[in-house]
Structures are given as structure tokens and as C-alpha cells.
Chain A
């Protein structure tokens, strides 16, 4: 009964999307006003119906209703409740339902609250949103029905991929999805602006909170995903340039660029065409990411839900939406009037460098990700990895960091470098001193070396805009910018320090043996079997101490899941302020000794702290923006646009190696 209810709600939602499409279209043509007025309620009701459908799915997973095919193939009655629920979106059908639900919620929210744009542009936006949503409803209902029943009810379910049975999974994919789908709103706004030729600062102000919101979720999602891969896969790495990681990084890069260019458009009415283009690109990258993950066209460690037929469906959607938007863009771009001009030495100038840099890195990642696909067409198999991505993206990333030291200090329109000379000189001096000092450390690579120096310089420069301000009266958007830029410095420091100073030991030890790595000494006390709800494990019990300090316990496990059968490594992490000890236990050798792998990773945690700081900057910025929007709506004077630059900057994941 409940699954049928969910399915019915989905069909109804799809019908409402069709209604929204028609009503929105009529609305752009100044046709029947009464009919056009249906667009907004259709969007709101649709969100409500999708939430019902999603709750129905959560329910069938919670009670492990094995008559539903999706539950039977992906769940198991013995799984802990949290993983039963997260199993609802840990598969293709469920994640697509999550996708349409988030999309409908975003659409409903715009319909409900957004009244700043001209009604025609609004109608075009809702129309575009419905057009995109319809494709995904079709996909869900025609080829990936999550509520499909089985003719015969199996006695037990197949279980969920053990790698996914982790608290990280409960948050990582939905977070990324919200980010991906949030960008669909920016896409709809961009398409609407092209259709109505209405590209104004107001348009940028309306679009910006959506981009910012999506971007915050993407930032958190990528950070969480990186940490999940780090402790769950047991390889001790935090970024692998895997196609699916790249698939999440590319929309982030585009969204970051969009955020900055939207700031220019909002504040200065410049970069009009470019901002629209980025709106189209950002969502294109989301869809491309979904396509790469779902179609299995590239070989990836993330290939959890691969099916070429579904790939064809998403490809069709990709071609329709992205191809369509690009053609529309090519047709309309030169009808959009040129925006304001500005000098090279100005805030806009610096933001253009940021945009060009981010777009270039996006191009580098895109090329590296798709290159194997191109060569395979000629029967040459290659894999593209860190030796390409690290140096090539660094070529663009490092100059961007230099500009980041200057940009936020500059005024809009035109500025004189001598005005900001002092803080920039201090930041550069610190950078250079650290680089010179670090050159003498043994075996440090070029990228970590530059990374350490620039991290310090950017950290200082990122706080410089706060200098001379009353901290209590500083607008939240400025705080947001400073914190996000500071977060980049923190993350960069973590990446560089880990790459430059990590120590690794792979040893075979008997119970009672001691092992050393970096400043740590440890002893293997015992190995025993432990049992969990749906796994058993061999657990190594160790005592470790840092530099002769107090002894700490660590219990790495090698786990065997039985539904489905799979072995995973559950690492033990000992976190200190200055880094993390990473201990993984492997199998037992012939002679009864146990394989242990230990890494001492100095300051590695800073990578994720940095990622979270970047997201926090976004949150502050978003709160500041929304507050000043509300104030403006009430008709109060607001000067925050004068100092407007909300947004944070580069890549948390450009890995110096």
C-alpha cells in the first residue's frame, strides 16, 4: 500500500511538472493570466508530493519490505536502522528519487518566495525548471521505478555494499546531490534570462543565494567524501583524482567561478554574458557528473550503480538540456548588452583572474577525466592520474593564490596598487621566507614547498580585509569571504604538510612486537575476533605513544561482511593537534605474523578543517546576503553592495604532491 502511494505521488508530481511547464510558457507569452498563475502553486504542490514519495521510500526501507525489489536487492533485515535508511538513497533508483525530491523542493521554494524578478522572467524560470524536472521524472518513472514490486517475496535481502555501510554515506551523497540539484536552479535562472534577455544586477542577486547554497553543500559534500575515502578505503590517501571525485569537483569549480562572477554582476553590472555562461556550465557539470557515475562509462572505484541503459537515458537528457542551453546561448549571447567596463587593477579585474583560473582548472580536470574515453575510441587504454592533474592544475592554482592575496583588498572599478602595497608585501614576505626555510628540508617536493609558503601568505592576506574595521560592525558577507579564503590556506597547509612530511611503515609483526613510525612507538598486544550486527572482524589491539607520551589504544579491524560477502579494512585513527596516526591491519601471514600498515600524517586533518571553514564562510555570506535582501525588501537603505564580494575561492582539493 505504502509503495503504491509513493508511486502515485510521483506520477502526480510529474503531471504537475507538465502543468507548470505549460503555465510557465503561457506566462512568458503574456497569454491567459489565470492559467499562468497556476505555475507557482503547481511547483509548490509538486514539492509536497515528492516529499511524500521520498518518505514512502524511507518507510519501506525502515520496515525492510522485501516485496519491493529495491529493498530486496539493497537492504537486509539485520542492518542497523541508520543504514537501512541511508540504504534508501545508496542505490540508483533511490538516489534519483532523492534528486527529483530536492529539485522539486528547490522549485517549490522559488515559486513560493521569489518575487524580485519581473514576472516574465520568473515564469520563464519556472518553465525551465519544470522542463528539466520532467526529464528526470520520466527517467525515474519509465526506467528506474524505486517502488517496483517483486512477484515472489524473497526470505531475505541482499544487503548493502559494506563500503557504503558507514555513517559517512548517510551524509555524503545526499549533500552532494543537494549541491548538484541546487545548481539546476541557477541553470533555470540563466536560461530564463536568455529567453527574456533580462540580465540585470537584480537577476544576479536573485540567483546568488541559490548558487551560494548549492556551493556550500558541494563544499561540505566534497570535504566529507574526501574524509570518507580516507578512512574507509584504507589506502591513507585523501584525493585520488578518480573520475567520480572529479565529477564532484567540476561542478564545485564552476559554482565557485559563478559565485564570484555573480558578485561582480550584482555589484557592478559587469560580466553579464559570462555569468550566464557559467550558470549553464555549472549545471552541465552536475549532469555530466551524474552521467559519468551512473553509466559506468569510466572505470571507477565508485561504480556502485552502473547500468549502460540508464547511461543512455541520462545522455539523452544531457544532450537535450545542455546542448539546448548551449545552442540557445550561442543564438542569444550577442543580443545581451555589454555590461560596465573596469580597469585591470580593480576588484573586478582580480575576480576575472579568479574566474579564468577556475575555468582553466575545470578544463584541465574535464580533459583529464574524459581523455581515457577519447583514447579508448581508438583502442588505446590509458589512465590519467596525479602526475597529470597535480602539476597541470597547480600551474593555474598557484597564480590564483597570488591574486587572492591582493584581490579582496582592491576597490571596485579602479584602484591603485600602492594603496594595498603594505599588507600584500607582508604576505609575500612571509611566503618567501617560509619557502626559503623549507628548501633545506630533506626531500621536499616543489609543489608541497610552494604550498607551504603560499598557505602562510594566503592565511595572512585573507584576514587583511578585516584590518582597520570595527569587527562587530563588519558585514557578515565580509566575514564570510575572509573565513572562506582563510579556509583555503588551512586546507592547502594540510595538503602540503601531509605530502611533504608523512611517514609510512608496512610491517609484519607478531603479538608482543613493537613498531615505530615517525615519533610514534607502538606494540601489538593481542589480536582477537569480534562480531558486529552483520559482520565479524579480526581486531588488532595496540598501544601506541607519541614521543614517549601517554599510551593510547588503537583497534584497527579487518572486517568480513556476509551480506554481501566482502572484506573491508576498518582503520584506527589517533588524532593529535599536529596530525593523525593511521593504522590499518591486513591479513595474517604464513608464519602467524600480522600485516600492519601505519602512517603518520602531520596536519592532515587541516585539509578537512579547511574545507569546513570554506563552507562556514559560505554560510556566513549566505546569512548576510539573505538578511540584507530582507532589509531591502522592507525598503530600508542598505549599503552592503558597496563592499560586496561574498564569495570564497579556489579548490580545496588541488592536491600538491
Chain B
């Protein structure tokens, strides 16, 4: 019976631990973002055709030309993408080179979007079936990656860029350039 008693107090202790864990987790902010596992890794190989006539397409070799860049994943139908457009332009004014991957979109829609919200992008790849987006470990739009000159992903920003994110992204870009 002694063993039984020890076992039972063991159960109580395990339960206390589990309840404690629940309590701890309830107080933690819930992080619903799915981070890319590729941060710190080389960008996967890809080559996307041009989305619009005014800009060339985007391939992984373009991202390894020695210049650190921002890569924005967006879509014309995405409202937060429209919301972040002014801050992308601000980043461009501050000297960032920005390329883009447009997902599940059509040239007409993207043209209209760029006309309305501005076009800070030097290249726009046409990722019609979200293939490249998924291979980057991006789970939604908008997302912005910082890519070092050798094609390494150094930072991932999930969600729309707000005013307060602009200096953070510029700093990350500087760090990436320094690598």
C-alpha cells in the first residue's frame, strides 16, 4: 500500500505541474505567427517571370548580387498590403532596394494596385500558385524578408509594415549589408 500512496502523490504532483503549466501559458502572449525556418539560411532557388511590363521578374540569383535587399511578398487583393504601401515607399526613399513577389494575382490587378498605391519595387516576380511564397516559409501576405548580398535571409517581418517598423527594417538592412 505504501507504493500505491507514493504513486498517488506522484499523480497529484504531475497534475499540479500541468495546472501550473496551463496557468503560465495563459499569461503568455499568444504568438500566432508562423516563423520561417529559413531565417539564417540561403534563399531557395527559384526564377519567377515578370508580373507587369514595367518591371522585370525575380529569381534567386537576382537576390545574390552583393546588395542587401528587402523582399516584399504581397497581393493586390490584400488590404494590409495596401495599408503598408506608404511605408514601403518611405523605406525606398531612405535608400532600401525593394523587390517583390506577387502571389495569386493577375497583371491587370497588380498594375491597378501599383498605380493606386505606388510602386517602390525594382523587380516583381509572378508567383501565381504561391509556390515561391511557400518555399520561403511565408504563410501569408504581407511579409517582408531582409536578404543579405549573398542571398541569405537574415530577417522576416510578418504582417503589414507600420511606421514604427521602418527604422527596424532599415537597421536590419544595414546589418545585412555589413555581412
Instruction: Convert B1-43 into 0s and 1s, putting 1 for each residue whose CB lies closer than 8 angstroms to a CB of A.
Output: 1001100110110011011011111101010100000000000
Q: Assess the B21–A323 pair: CB atoms within 8 A.
A: no
List the 5 closest pairs (A to B, CB-CB), nearest first. Answer: A330-B8, A334-B1, A326-B12, A319-B19, A311-B26
Q: How many residues of A contact B (CB 8 A)?
A: 26
Find the residue from B1, B5, B25, B128 having the highest chain A CB count within 10 A.
Answer: B25
**Closest B residue by C-beta to A332:** B8
Q: For chain A residues 461-494, which have a beta carbon within 8 Å of chain B?
A: none
Q: Is B106 an interface residue (CB 8 A)?
A: yes
Q: For the complex, what is the distance from the CA of A376 to the CA of B23, rounded to whole Å?
A: 13
Residues B22 and A315 in contact, CB atoms below 8 Å apart: yes
Bound: A322/B12 CA distance, A: 9
Q: Decide yes or no: A330 and B9 within 8 Å by CB, A322-B15, A323-B16, A590-B106 being known contacts.
A: yes
Query: Which residue of chain B lies nearest to A318 when distances are taken between CB atoms in the complex?
Result: B19
Q: Is the CB of B5 within 8 A of A330?
A: yes
Quick one: closest A residue to B128, CB to CB? A590
Q: Closest residue of chain A to B30, judged by CB?
A: A296
A299: contacting residue among B8, B19, B32, B128, CB under 8 A? B32
Whether B22 contacts A291 by the Cβ 8 Å rule is yes
Q: Once bound together, how far apart are the Cα atoms of A373 and B4, in whole Å? A: 29
Additional A-B contact list (8), CB under 8 Å, known A326-B8, A333-B8? A291-B22, A311-B26, A315-B19, A323-B19, A326-B11, A330-B12, A334-B5, A377-B24
Q: Please indicate the chain B residues that have their CB under 8 angstroms from the CB of A167 in the complex.
A: none
Q: Check A329 against B8 for contact (C-beta < 8 Å).
A: yes
CB-defined A-B contacts under 8 Å, sample of 16: A296-B30, A297-B25, A299-B32, A308-B30, A312-B23, A315-B22, A318-B19, A318-B22, A323-B12, A323-B16, A326-B11, A330-B5, A330-B11, A370-B21, A377-B24, A590-B128
Which listed residue, A312, A318, A327, touches B12 by the CB 8 Å rule? A327
Inter-chain contact A297/B12, CB cutoff 8 Å: no
For A319, what are the chain B residues with a Cβ–Cβ distance below 8 Å?
19
A302-328 at interface with B (beta carbon < 8 Å):
308, 311-312, 315, 318-319, 322-323, 326-327
Give complex CA distance A254, B3 in Å.
23
Q: Are A376 and B26 in contact (CB under 8 A)?
A: no
Task: Give the CA-CA distance A590 to B107 in the complex, in Å.
Answer: 11
Q: Residues 574-603 of chain A: 1 if any B CB is under 8 Å from the residue's CB, otherwise 0?
A: 000000000000000010000000000000
> What are the interface flags for A284-301 relative to B under an 8 Å C-beta threshold, 1 for contact and 0 otherwise?
000000010001110100
Instruction: Establish whether residues B22 and A373, one from each chain, have CB atoms under 8 Å apart when the complex forms.
Output: yes
Minimum C-beta distance from A254 to chain B (A): 14
* Beta-carbon nearest neighbor of A587 in chain B: B104
Question: Inside 8 A of A333's CB, which chain B residues have their CB?
Answer: 4-5, 8
- Contacts of A330 on B, CB cut-off 8 Å? 5, 8-9, 11-12
- A374 closest partner in B (C-beta): B21
Main secondary structure of the interface of B (DSSP, over half): helix
Tell me if A373 and B25 are in contact (CB < 8 A). Answer: yes
CB distance from B151 to the nearest CB of A (A): 26
Q: A330-B9, A333-B4 in contact; A312/B19 too (CB < 8 A)? A: no
Partner among B4, B25, B32 whose Cβ is within 8 Å of the Cβ of A334: B4
Question: Closest approach, in angstroms, between the C-beta of A317 and any C-beta of chain B?
Answer: 11
What chain B residues lie within 8 Å of A377 (beta carbons)? 21, 24-25
- How far is A333 from B32 in the complex, measured between Cα atoms in Å? 43
Residues in A lying within 8 Å of B, measured CB to CB:
273, 291, 295-297, 299, 308, 311-312, 315, 318-319, 322-323, 326-327, 329-330, 333-334, 370, 373-374, 376-377, 590
* 8 Å CB interface, B102-148 against A: 106, 128
Known A-B contacts A330-B8, A333-B8; A315 and B23 likewise in contact (beta carbons under 8 Å) = yes
Q: How far is the CB of B18 from chain A (nearest CB, A)?
A: 7
Interface centre among B18, B22, B32, B128 (most CB of A within 10 A): B22
- Contact for A297 among B4, B15, B26, B106, CB less than 8 A: B26
Give the docked Cα–Cα distance between A24 and B79 (Å): 60
Which of B11, B26, B30, B128 lies in contact with A312, CB distance below 8 A? B26
A373 to B24, CA, bound (A): 10
Q: Which of B144-175 contact A (CB under 8 A)?
A: none
- Complex Cα spacing A127 to B49, Å: 73
Distance in Å: Cβ of A645 to nearest Cβ of chain B: 26
Q: Which residues of A contact B32 (CB under 8 A)?
A: 299
Contact call B26/A315, Cβ cutoff below 8 A: yes
Chain B hits for A327, CB < 8 A? 12
Whole-angstrom CA separation of A291 from B25 in the bound complex:
13
Contacts of B21 in A (CB 8 A): 370, 373-374, 377
CB–CB B11/A297 < 8 A: no
Closest Cβ of chain A to B129, distance in Å, is 10
Please measure, in the bound complex, the distance between the C-alpha atom of A308 and the C-alpha atom of B26, giving whole angstroms: 6
Give the shortest distance, in Å, between B32 (CB) and chain A (any CB).
Answer: 7
Tell which of A273, A323, A326, A377 has the most Cβ of chain B within 10 Å: A326
Within 8 Å CB of B12, what residues of A? Answer: 323, 326-327, 330
Please tell me which one of the listed residues A295, A299, A370 contacts residue B18 in the complex, with CB atoms under 8 A apart. A370
Q: How far is the CA of A607 from the CA of B23 in the complex (A)?
A: 38
Q: Which residues of B contact A308 (CB under 8 A)?
A: 26, 30
A330 to B16, CA, bound (A): 13
Q: A318-B19, A330-B5 are in contact. Are A295 and B106 (CB under 8 A)?
A: no
Q: Which residue from chain A places its CB closest to the CB of B17 in the assembled complex?
A: A374
List A contacts of B106 (CB < 8 A). Answer: 590
Inter-chain contacts of A590 with B (CB < 8 A): 106, 128
Closest to B34 in A: A381
In the assembly, what is the distance between CA of A36 and CA of B111, in Å? 80
Q: In the complex, what's the smallest C-beta–C-beta distance from A654 to chain B, in angstroms? A: 24
Q: State in angstroms the CA–CA spacing of A322 and B5 once bound together.
A: 18
Nearest chain A residue, comparing its CB with the CB of B9: A330
Residue of B1, B32, B106 with most partner-chain A CB within 10 A: B1
Q: How far is the CB of A441 from chain B (nearest CB, A)?
A: 34
